[in-house]
Every structure is written in structure tokens, then in C-alpha cells.
Chains A and B, each alone.
Chain A
Amino acid sequence: MSELLAVENLEKYFPVTRGLIFQKEIAQVKAVDGVNFTLNAGETLGVVGESGCGKSTMARCIARLLEPTGGKIVFNGQDITHLGRKEMRPIRRDMMMVFQDPYASLNARKRVGSIIAEPLEVHNIGSDADRKRRVQELLEIVGLSPEHYNRFPHEFSGGQRQRIGIARALSINPKLIICDEPVSALDVSVQAQILNLLKDLQRDFDLTYIFIAHDLNVVRHVSDRVMVMYLGKPVETGSRAELYASPKHPYSGALLSAVPIADPKLGRARKQIVLEGDVPSPINPPAACRFHPRCPRFVDGKCNVDEPLLTRVPGATDHDFACHFPLERWPMGDDELRHEGAFAQEATPAGSFD
């Protein structure tokens, strides 16, 4: 398999300014702060994290909708980190996005046919008749019918709109599709339809996906590899098999155990890490391990002093984590939920619900 995308030490900082005319930079939001990964053609990378962890910003940097502050993005053998608009044009043919909100990402005044044909027009592909044929073919591929060509987006349900968004992304036969929370706004039954559709399309058209979500379980069904992000940094990456079999980072454990299980007996019996509060502000992130204020396994004098680096899980081929006190067992036992050190005396164990 050939490498389609390589991201090295990607950084995106947004300035925080004060003053109307003489804008003075007073701080920086480190939205993405050192992300590394490679993605082979035909693979899916799942990127997971809460709102505000920088996953969407990372996607937008890769699609070059944002200018990265630092690092390097190599797409299809070409360094695209700082290409200009014109130079990016031919590359954009190979890279498309599907967005979260199917209500906001389709132009309400355009007909479905012209929404899907727009990328073809932008890149000057085919005659009008060719484009129309292509759009009708696409409508069928994504499970709509060619008669929908002249309808408006408001005539469709959320799931159908997401299919329109996918058809638009497919229109120019891209190599890479970045899906930014494509199913978060959908009902679970419709969510399953869209996940299955994305998988079928990948098989049929040899697509490569970056699939962003806040739900580790959704990602499980589409990803070959998974990256868990927290406050701009990856905290755990691995192949699907290794990461889900034994997640190491307490944050991955928290994300996995936060999802309700559709089985009353199993769901109520299991151990759960319920995180307190929200993701801290990336303007002034916590020192050392950024997860330490919310972590059930926090050890004072270690986690807040010494930043853990991504290290390989012993014996694993593709599974790295950044934590001083990784989870030892999965599913978790009582030990996994324990606070240690000085912090433990004053605080009740965060989210140890039995």
C-alpha cells in the first residue's frame, strides 16, 4: 500500500488579539499542537475527541482551508503545507470534505443537481450533458434517485441531505475524503445507513478517509486506525484491533465508557469513567499532561510536572499512548478508577460509578 498522506508535527495557533486598530497579540490558542500520522491509500483514520480538542481544525489544515502555523503536510508525495490558492487547485481535485451539519452545508437556494455538479464546474470537467449524467449516476450511488435532481435541499430529511453531501464529495473522484462528524446530527437508525454507505463507497471507489467524530464507537465501524486527541495533541493512536482491545490512555477509556450500552444489564454493571467539567481552554492549557486535571489516575508531582510522550505499547505493532499511568485492564476494574497521590484525599474519585 502506498502512502497517501503524511502529517508531521502539524501546528495551528490562532492569535488572541486586543485593540481595534492597533491589534496586539496577547495570547495564542494552540488548537493543534504537534500532530503526526501517516495514512495509506484505501485506509481510514478515525479521529476522536470532545468539542474543542482541535480535531476539526486539524482537518481544515489538511484540506488547506486554514494555513498551518508549523509542521508539514505531504499529500500524494507533494508538500502542500504552504501552497497558494492557485497551486492548491489541482490538488483539491483529489481531496474533498463532508461536513457535520447537512442543513447548513448545502445551499438552500440551489437545486440538488447543481449542488452536486458544482465541484465538476469548478474544475471544468465535462460538458453540461456529461455533468448531468454524472450527477444522476452519483444520486443512484448514494442511494437517492435520479428524479431528485431538480429538488431543493429542504425537501429532504437529514440522512438524505448527508447523502447529497457525500455525492458532492464523490463527484470528482477524489482520493481522500475528510468526513467531519458526518453522522453526529443524525438519528441512530439513519447513522447506521450513512456509516454503511461510506464503507461501501470506500470498497467500490478505493477511497481514503479521515473520519472525525466524538464517539469512539461510531469510529470503530469505519476505521482501520484511530487517533484520540485531547487539547490539540494525540494522546493515543493505534490500529483498530489493538486500541479497542486494550485502550491505554484514561481519556480513551473515558470516551469508550461514556457511550451508553444498549443492554440494561451490561450497561448498569460496568465501570465507567465520567469526566468532570469541560475541556480546558487551549489558551492556557494545563501544564505537562494536559489531561491531568480531569484524569482519574492523576498522580501529583508526576502528571503535572512531566509531560508524557507518545510511547509504543510493549509487544504491539501499531499502538502508541502518552500517559505515565496507563490503564492496565480492559474492561476496567476498580484500580483503573483510582486517584492516587495527594490529590486523592480531598477529591472523591472522579466518576467512579458502580
Chain B
Amino acid sequence: MALLEVQDLNTRFKTDDGVVQAVSGVSFDLERGKTLGVVGESGSGKSVTFLTVMGLLDPRHAEMTGSVRFDNQEILGLNTSQLRPIRGERIGMIFQDPMTSLNPVKKIGWQLEEAVLIHNDVPRSEARRRAIEVLEEVEIPKADTRIDDYAHQFSGGMRQRVMIAMALINQPELLIADEPTTALDVTTQAQILRLMEKLQNEHGMAIVMITHDLGVVAELADDVIVMYGGRIVESAQVDDLFAKPEMPYTWGLLGSLPRVDVDVERLEQIPGQPPSLLRPPKGCAFNPRCAYTFDRCREELPELRPAEGKSDHEFRCHLEEADRARIWTEKQAAMAASAESAA
């Protein structure tokens, strides 16, 4: 039984300009102890998907349908008090910007203790003891004195550690991390990723890693979902996705990454902008930016279908298997050639 099962999730916002369909028909499972990478550009619906899962959207503005089962219990549509034994206790969350997620006028110790006190009937001294313990666990030096500091006294990386500590303090079974390293230096990013890996090994929690960087996913994830225009456009085990991505958007994401190991004279770029979810393009949402668009792409939304010989690798694209295999082989050859000519 998977820890988190999401079935046909849809999220719509009513705005003055019309209805924004931010999430359309998203389904996936996440097992205990595994890491799911969720990749997409800004506006692809990846954050909204997990705000919906966590019940953090206001039902007065957002219309949510589908099913979210956490440990075999339906949690979509629960109200705040019903969610309390789950959210913050069994599911922890980390947000992108650690400065705006921490309260600037309260000591971080107070904020950590609060997370304990809301969910447990313990004295404050016990909560403080746990707060120091969890700060030590996220490798903050001199945790017993730094607990009385304010958020502004920490550097960006240290603040993100505090956020992780806060999410972990009640030992959740699932940690949802929304771009936890995007605002950080590469060196700090490496520290935070190693830390999350270590904590996962020690506590066996499941992690959802939301990011726009396929590199982060390659290092950390077991399974990957690629989102575009509010839909899953490809999902696979991490090795399969990088060995043979099946659709043009994933190719574009891979090509646009600056490579560490090779010199590339010119990065591949995905032209244009992500689609407006207010007025999404007809047919495949990626068709206006895709180099391989043909008539059918402009008319008909491709269904998620399994890749050849891999039932757990699904993608959306009208291109035939032979064409996709040929294009991917050509792309790999081109990348290798460009690396060679640059060297």
C-alpha cells in the first residue's frame, strides 16, 4: 500500500478573467521511504498540486476534485481541525524562501517549540529539548545557543536548515519540499541535498522534491514526474527518464541544463514561454513551443501512454515510437559532437 495515492486531481481557480485550470488529472503514488522528484517550469502546476494535497488552498477560491489518500485515508476536503493530526505531524513541508517562511519577530526556538506544542501534550521544556535535538540533527553548530536567535541572524543556508528542522520535528512520514534549494548558492544547495539524503536514510521518510532543476532530481529522486501546463507529461523511474526520455519537453529541459562534465558551445533552449493556464493552447499544451508539432498536436490532447517495454514509464506525445527513438538518438549524438568540437 502506497503512503500517498493521488488520483485524478484537478484544481481550478476562479479569477476575474476566467477559470484557471492549474492542475488537470494528476495521478501518482508514493511509497514509504522513496523520493519523488516533481519537475517543471514556473507555472507548470507543480506547487499547486502539492498545496492541494496538503489542503493549503482555500476552498472558497479553489475548486478541487479527485482523491488524495494518505496512509489509506482520504484527506482531500478535510477541514483544518480534521487535518491537524496529519499536517505538520505526519506530513512536513518546506518552502522555497526560508526568509519569508520564518517569523521575523519570534525566536526560532519559539517557532520550533510551537510545532511541537500544537501536536503534543508536553511541557515547553520538553518541546525546547526536542527543538535543540532537531537543530543538532540538521547540523546547526551550537544549537543550544542559536535556538535563541532570530531568523535574520542566520544565513540563507542556515535558515533553510531551520525550516527543515521545523518540518522534521514531529518525525513526519512524508516530507514535501517545494524548491528547497532554489534560493541558495550551489555549495549550500549541495549541503542541503546531502542533509536531506542523510535524514531520509535515518528516518525512512518519503520525500517529494519539487524543483525546476533536473540535476537535483537526478541526484536525489527514485521516481520522477515532469509537469507541463498543469498536467503530468512524463513519469518514470529516474534511471529510465534520463536514459531515454520520451517526449520533446523533457528533451528540452535536459538540453537546456549547463553541463558540468562537457563543454557545450551553445545550450539548447526551449523557445517561448510556458502556456497561460487561463487560455491553454488547444491540443497538446506544449505544441506552440515544440519543434516536432504536426496537425494532430494542435487538435488533440495526447493521453498518457506507457513507453515501449516499460509499463511504469508513461508520457504524453503523439509522435510514434520510431520517431521518438530516432530523435533522441540524434540529440544524444549532437550533444556528444558539440562537446567534442568545443573541446
Interface residues of A (CB under 8 A from B): 50-51, 157-160, 187-193, 195-196, 199, 214-218, 220-221, 240, 244, 254-268, 272, 274-278, 351, 353
Residue from the set A214, A259, A351 with the largest chain B CB neighbour count within 10 Å: A259
Chain B, range 192-248, C-beta contacts under 8 Å to A: 193-194, 212-219, 238-239, 242
| Binary per-residue interface labels of chain B (256-268) against chain A in the complex, 1 for a CB within 8 Å, 0 otherwise | 1111110111111
Chain B: residues with Cβ within 8 Å of the partner, total of 48
| Residues of chain A contacted by B238 (CB below 8 angstroms) | 264
Q: Are A259 and B42 in contact (CB under 8 A)?
A: no
Check A262–B218 contact: CB distance below 8 A: yes
Binds A, one of B155-163, B168-176, B313-321: B155-163
Of B47-55, B127-135, B181-189, B297-305, the stretch lying at the interface with chain A is: B181-189
Which listed residue (B242, B259, B267) contacts A195, Cβ 8 A? B267
Which residue of chain A lies nearest to B139 when distances are taken between CB atoms in the complex? A276
- Pair A218/B185 contact, Cβ less than 8 Å: no
Additional pairs, 13, CB under 8 Å, beyond known A260-B189, A264-B239: A50-B185, A157-B42, A159-B273, A160-B273, A189-B270, A196-B267, A214-B187, A218-B258, A220-B258, A257-B260, A260-B219, A274-B191, A277-B141
Contact at A276–B191, with CB atoms within 8 Å? Answer: yes
Closest to B237 in A: A264
Question: Is the CB of B269 closer than 8 A to any CB of chain A?
Answer: yes
Q: Is B118 an interface residue (CB 8 A)?
A: no
Q: Cβ of A278 and Cβ of B239 under 8 Å apart? A: no
Does the CB pair A259–B186 fall under 8 Å? Answer: yes
Partner of A188, one of B158, B194, B253: B253
| A187→B212 contact, CB < 8 A | yes
- With A189-B253, A267-B219 as known contacts, state yes or no: A199 contacts B266, CB within 8 Å: yes
- B42 in contact with A196 (CB, 8 Å): no
Q: Can you report 21 A-B residue pairs in the complex whose CB atoms are below 8 A from each other?
A: A50-B185, A51-B155, A188-B213, A191-B258, A193-B270, A193-B271, A196-B267, A196-B269, A214-B186, A221-B265, A254-B187, A255-B187, A257-B190, A260-B218, A262-B214, A262-B217, A262-B254, A263-B218, A264-B238, A264-B242, A272-B190
Q: Nearest chain B CB to A253's CB is how many angstroms away?
A: 11
Given contacts A188-B256, A258-B189, is CB(A278)–CB(B215) below 8 Å? no
B residues 146-162 with Cβ under 8 Å of A? 155-158
Q: Does B41 contact A (CB under 8 A)?
A: yes
Contact of A265 among B41, B42, B190, B239 (CB under 8 A): B239
> For the complex, what is the distance from the CA of A260 to the CA of B211, rounded to whole Å?
12
Complex alpha-carbon distance, A158 and B158, angstroms: 27
In the complex, A324→B336 CA distance in Å?
36
Cβ contact within 8 Å between B187 and A258:
yes
Chain A CB within 10 A, most for which of B188, B190, B212, B271 = B190
Beta-carbon nearest neighbor of A215 in chain B:
B186
Binary interface encoding of chain B residues 263-301 relative to chain A, with 1 for a CB under 8 A from any of its CBs, else 0: 111111111011000000000000000000000000000
Asked if B218 and A193 sit within 8 Å, CB to CB, the answer is no
B42/A188 in contact, CB under 8 A: no
Q: Which residues of B contact A272 (CB under 8 A)?
A: 190
Which residues of chain B have C-beta atoms less than 8 A from A220's C-beta?
258, 263
Is B77 engaged at the interface, CB distance under 8 Å to the other chain? no
**Neighbour of B158 across the interface among A195, A278, A353, CB < 8 A:** A278
Of A159, A221, A255, which is within 8 A of B258 by CB?
A221
Could you tell me the distance between the alpha carbons of A159 and B258 in the complex, rounded to whole angstroms? 17
Whether A217 contacts B273 by the Cβ 8 Å rule is no
Is B252 positioned at the interface, with any CB of A under 8 Å from its CB? yes
Residue of A188, A192, A221, A274 near B190 (CB, 8 A) is: A274
Within 8 Å by CB of A261, from B156, B215, B274, lies B215
Q: Enumerate chain B residues within 8 angstroms of A261, measured Cβ to Cβ.
A: 215, 218-219, 259-261
Question: How distant is the Cα of A268 from the Cα of B79 in the complex, in angstroms?
Answer: 42
CB atoms of A217 and B252 under 8 A apart: no
Contact call A262/B273, Cβ cutoff below 8 A? no
CA distance A275 to B192 in the complex (A): 11
**Contact status of A192 and B194, CB under 8 A, knowing A187-B212, A258-B186, A278-B188:** no
Cross-chain contact B214 with A188 (CB below 8 angstroms): yes
Inside 8 A of B187's CB, which chain A residues have their CB?
50, 214, 254-255, 258, 274-275
How far apart sit A351 and B215, CA to CA, in the bound complex (Å)? 19
Q: Is B156 touching A51 in the complex (CB atoms < 8 A)?
A: yes
Q: Report Cα–Cα, A351/B191, bound state, in Å.
A: 9
Contacts of B261 in A (CB 8 A): 261, 263, 266
CA of A314 to CA of B312, assembled, Å: 52
Most chain A CB atoms below 10 A, which of B218, B239, B253: B218
Across-interface contacts of A255 in B (CB, < 8 A): 186-187
Are the C-beta atoms of B256 and A189 separated by less than 8 Å? Answer: yes
Is B219 touching A158 in the complex (CB atoms < 8 A)?
no
Smallest CB separation, B313 vs chain A (Å)? 14
Q: 0/1 per residue, B64-91, Cβ < 8 Å to A?
A: 0000000000000000000000000000
In the docked arrangement, what's the CA distance between A189 and B254, Å? 9
What separation, in Å, do the CA atoms of A154 and B14 have in the docked complex? 21
Point out which of A187, A196, A256, A277 has the most chain B C-beta atoms below 10 A from its C-beta.
A187
A-side contacts of B155, CB under 8 Å: 51, 278
Q: A189-B256, A214-B186, A267-B219 are in contact. Are A260 and B193 (CB under 8 A)?
A: yes
- Most chain A CB neighbours (cut-off 10 Å) among B155, B185, B219, B253: B185
- Alpha-carbon separation in the docked complex, A300 to B188 (Å): 25
Task: State the Cβ distance, A175 to closest chain B Cβ, in Å.
Answer: 24
**From residue B335, how far is it (CB to closest CB) to chain A in Å?**
11
Considering only CB atoms, which chain B residue lies closest to A261 in the complex?
B260
Does the CB pair B216–A260 fall under 8 Å?
yes
Give bound CA distance, A291 to B97, whole Å: 28
